[in-house]
């Protein structure tokens, strides 16, 4: 038997206006609202009845309890007042009244967490000796006395930020109840903070992203820190309430607030604020060099808070392509003063840069004498090479520490039968040059470096070289190495001259100074 039916029913007179009552159409029994979720393993229900004028002296109410839709406490009003889970005759008590609390039998307790319990009240009156039901009212609640679980994040998965605006996120999960929704939280510098659910409600972070009924939910909000906030750890700690509130067995008022619901354990997320740019510097192998010299550059950087990314960009100041990496090298082809700029960033995105002035002096003398098939000259610029070849620009390749500049096109003219080039070596070694067409060599030459430097080189061409596309093969063997490396460039010869192709070999020794 339902526990409230064993003894005399609790009847309380009420006013005509019944606040908080769910009223079915044309109902004579009304149910007070139950919370959708109850923070208890017990629960009580309250109902209100109104006697219809003209009913007989036998008027009573019966109660039925269902668990997940299955009847676990039945009633049978057709047996008259006082039958199973029914009140005695309440006609003489007045025209209307409240009745409750109605509770399950001890054998049904404790109520199962996660189960939905529905209590229904049906009024009966007699017609002669037949007892008939007139109206019913039901209210359902789901039992949940477990805390939700949350995870808290600041700026997603980022570790560092240089932005005073921070984004806070709460992931919510509960096996039974959705969020209240109400979250409580605090911000702290240097570490976590204690969340006070009585004073630290955060309305802006209490709007669920997936609606109020989703048990797996999330919340997002944003705040902007004061400009005077020091760099360091910024922590956001939060607690969340679910929709389950305690049962009130002594009153028809079943309301509640978030602080009385199941509250999650506190969880904290953090971000490291870093608005200080990294320290950056440049080390150069030389700051006063000659045209054609190889300048080696290396980067140094540090950041006390977020470290550096290890990504570097070099601007050499001579309108050539940028360099990258912690180390790089560059050769200037024109004399002048150049500013090298190095940029990088720290883990928070703060940019840092360093600058280094490089003075480039006129090129060294080529030295040595040209032999048969080739001539050593002072180091030319790229423009010198292009102009001497009749225009058409230059092309560049690198072979194991040797940089080669050659024309893209050579205009065959009377008195211009030498193909200009420039070699820049990072150390001693031997260069071999072969001009070939259709697999047949038409000209050869060579040069030897005794140390690093840049020279000009002119390959002697056959007097009757035919126009067309030729392959220029460059072979370089660094001193001390057992192997040589080869690169091939294509050179177009135009303005045909009569005659057949031929070639001779030559070797020139170059001693830089």
Q: What is the DSSP string of 78-102?
A: GG-TTSTTB----GGG-SEEEEEEE
Beta-strand ranges (E) seen in 130-196 are 130-143, 149-154, 160-161, 165-173, 179-189
More confident residue, 321 or 133: 321
User: Class of 149-273 per CATH?
Assistant: mainly beta
pLDDT band at 52 (very low <50, low <70, confident <90, very high): low
Q: For residues 35 and 257, give the distance between their C-alpha atoms in angstroms, rounded to a whole number.
A: 11
Residue 496: pLDDT over 60: no
Q: What is the structure's pLDDT at 367? A: 39
Fold match flag (149-273 vs 374-510): yes
> Looking at residues 267-274, what average pLDDT do you find?
97
More confident residue, 28 or 351: 351
Q: What residues form DSSP beta bridges with 166?
A: 223
> Looking at residues 148-155, what average pLDDT do you find?
98
Model-level pTM greater than 0.75?
no
Q: What is the pLDDT of residues 354-402, one digit of tens each?
A: 999 999 998 654 433 344 567 788 888 899 999 999 999 999 999 988 9
Q: What is the structure's pLDDT at 379? A: 84
pLDDT band at 197 (very low <50, low <70, confident <90, very high): very high
Residue 15: pLDDT over 50: no
Could you tell me the two tokens for 15? 């006013």
Q: Which of 423, 442, 428, 443 is nearest to 487 (CA)?
A: 423
Whole-number Cα distances in Å, 497 to 170, 319, 385, 492: 81, 38, 21, 14
> Looking at residues 458-476, what average pLDDT do you find?
93
Residue 266: pLDDT over 80: yes
Residue 151: pLDDT over 90: yes
Q: What is the structure's pLDDT at 288? A: 95
pLDDT band at 129 (very low <50, low <70, confident <90, very high): low
pLDDT band at 204 (very low <50, low <70, confident <90, very high): very high
- Give me the CATH topology for the region 280-361: Immunoglobulin-like (2.60.40)
CATH number of 3-143: 2.60.40
> Looking at residues 146-175, what average pLDDT do you find?
97
Residue 417: pLDDT over 60: yes
> Could you state, in order of their start, the residue ranges of all structural domains in the chain?
3-143, 149-273, 280-361, 374-510
Q: What is the structure's pLDDT at 19? A: 32
Q: What is the structure's pLDDT at 363? A: 66
Pairing of strands 216-224, 279-284: unpaired
Question: Mean pLDDT for the chain?
Answer: 87
The most confident of 44-58, 324-338, 448-462, 493-507, by mean pLDDT: 324-338
Residue 442: pLDDT over 80: yes
Q: What is the pLDDT of residues 214-246, one digit of tens each?
A: 999 999 999 999 999 999 999 999 999 999 999
Q: What is the structure's pLDDT at 400? A: 86
Q: What is the structure's pLDDT at 335? A: 87
Residues 122, 61: contact at Cβ < 8 Å?
A: yes
More confident residue, 98 or 57: 98
Q: For residues 295 and 257, give the distance between their C-alpha atoms in angstroms, rounded to a whole number.
A: 73
> Looking at residues 124-138, what average pLDDT do you find?
79
Pairing of strands 244-245, 179-189: unpaired
374-510 CATH choice from 1.20.1250.20, 3.40.120.10, 3.40.50.720, 2.60.40.2550: 2.60.40.2550
């Amino acid at each position: 038997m339902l526990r409230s039916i064993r003894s005399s029913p609790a009847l309380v007179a009420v006013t005509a206006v019944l606040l908080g009552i769910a009223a079915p159409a044309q109902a004579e029994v009304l149910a007070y609202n139950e919370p959708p979720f109850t923070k208890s393993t017990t629960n009580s229900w309250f109902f209100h009845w109104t006697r219809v004028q003209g009913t007989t002296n036998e008027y009573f109410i019966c109660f039925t309890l269902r668990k997940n839709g299955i009847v676990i406490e039945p009633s049978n009003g057709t047996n008259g007042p006082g039958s199973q889970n029914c009140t005695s005759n309440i006609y003489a008590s007045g025209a209307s009244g409240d009745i409750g609390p109605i509770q399950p039998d001890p054998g049904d307790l404790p109520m199962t967490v996660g189960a939905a319990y529905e209590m229904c009240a049906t009024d009966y009156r007699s017609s002669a000796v037949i007892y008939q039901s007139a109206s019913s009212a039901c209210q359902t609640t789901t039992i949940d006395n477990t805390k939700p679980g949350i995870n808290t994040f600041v700026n997603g998965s980022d570790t560092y930020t240089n932005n005073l605006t921070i984004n806070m996120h709460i992931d919510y999960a509960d096996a039974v109840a959705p969020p209240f929704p109400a979250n409580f939280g605090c911000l702290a510098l240097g570490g976590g903070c204690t969340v006070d659910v009585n004073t630290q409600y955060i309305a802006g972070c209490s709007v669920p992203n997936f609606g109020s009924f989703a048990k797996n939910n999330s919340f997002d909000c944003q705040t902007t820190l004061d400009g005077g906030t020091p760099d360091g750890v910024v922590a956001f700690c939060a607690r969340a309430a679910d929709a389950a509130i305690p049962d009130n067995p002594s009153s028809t008022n079943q309301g509640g607030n978030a602080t009385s619901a199941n509250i999650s354990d506190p969880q904290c997320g953090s971000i490291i604020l870093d608005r200080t740019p990294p320290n950056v510097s440049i080390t150069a192998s030389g700051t006063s060099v000659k045209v054609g010299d190889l300048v080696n550059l290396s980067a140094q950087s540090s950041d006390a808070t977020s470290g550096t990314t290890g990504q570097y960009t070099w601007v050499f100041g001579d309108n050539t392509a940028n360099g990258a990496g912690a180390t790089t090298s560059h050769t200037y082809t024109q004399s002048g003063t150049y500013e090298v700029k190095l940029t990088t960033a720290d883990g928070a995105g703060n940019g840092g840069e360093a600058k280094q002035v490089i003075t480039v002096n006129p090129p060294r003398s080529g030295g040595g004498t040209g032999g048969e098939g080739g001539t050593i000259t002072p180091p030319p610029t790229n423009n010198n090479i292009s102009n001497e070849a009749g225009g058409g620009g230059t092309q560049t390749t690198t072979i194991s520490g040797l940089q080669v500049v050659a024309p893209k096109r050579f205009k065959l003219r009377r008195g211009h039968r030498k193909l200009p080039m420039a070699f820049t070596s990072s150390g001693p070694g031997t260069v071999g040059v072969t001009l070939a067409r259709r697999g047949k060599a038409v000209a050869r030459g060579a040069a030897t470096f005794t140390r690093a430097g840049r020279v000009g080189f002119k390959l002697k061409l056959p007097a009757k070289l035919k126009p067309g596309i030729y392959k220029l093969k460059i072979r370089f063997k660094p001193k001390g190495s057992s192997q040589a490396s080869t690169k091939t460039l294509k050179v177009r010869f135009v303005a045909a001259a009569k005659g057949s192709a031929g070639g001779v070999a030559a070797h020139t020794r170059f001693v830089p100074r």
